[in-house]
Amino acid sequence: MHPLVIQVEKLFLPEVERLASEMRQLFPALTFNVWRSPVGILTQHQGYDFGVECVFPANTLDISDNVALSVELFDLTSTARVMAEVGWGHPSGDIEASFRDDWQSSAQWPEATPTVLSELEQSFPRLILAFRSAVQRGAPPTSNSQ
């Protein structure tokens, strides 16, 4: 496994797992999944992501039925980049909160330097709060069910 993946998992995966456990107790009717997975393995832009997802089984087809807090690594074979965000699934695709707001594509994510990882570590509690808020609300901020 890439050394950066090991480092980032060590920083954030225990918090993600604790969050999932806590949320399962608070919201037993919802499903919370923790995942970790390589991505882009067949491309030149290999990456890795992990996070926690909440599934809302009662949401109708016109409202996103899941929200996730994810940490993503991109371009592990060259200039590794990192992003973390809380985002809703289809159909809204809304981003509830993001580590950095100044990006349009993964190529613009910040380079995964020690300084950037430290910055992400400091802002991670804000992402956890955004995930908790999203789960409690049960729908994207733009849905009509607020």
Q: pLDDT, tens digit, for every residue of 39-93?
A: 877 667 788 999 999 999 887 888 888 999 999 998 898 899 999 999 998 888 8
Q: Where are the beta strands (DSSP E) in 61-127?
A: 66-74, 81-88, 95-98
Instruction: Tell whether the model's pLDDT for residue 146 goes beyond 50.
Output: no
* pTM summary value: 0.89
User: Which is more confident, 102 or 124?
Assistant: 124
Residues 2-23: pLDDT tens digits?
888 999 999 999 999 999 999 9
**Terminal alpha carbon distance of the chain:** 42
Please say whether the dihedral angle defined by the alpha carbons of residues 8, 11, 17 and 23, taken in this order, is positive or negative: negative
pLDDT value at residue 42:
66
Pairing of strands 47-55, 31-39: antiparallel
Q: Where does the pLDDT of residue 105 fall: very low under 50, low under 70, confident under 90, or very high at 90 and above?
A: low
**Does the pLDDT of residue 143 top 60, yes or no?**
no
Encode pLDDT of 120-129 as tens digits: 999 999 999 9
Q: Quick one: pLDDT band at residue 31, thresholds 50, 70, 90?
A: very high
Mean pLDDT of 95-112: 80
pLDDT reported for residue 137: 93
Ramachandran bin of 5, using left for φ above 0, alpha for ψ from -120 to 50, beta for the remaining angles: alpha
Q: Which two tokens stand for residue 50?
A: 């992990």
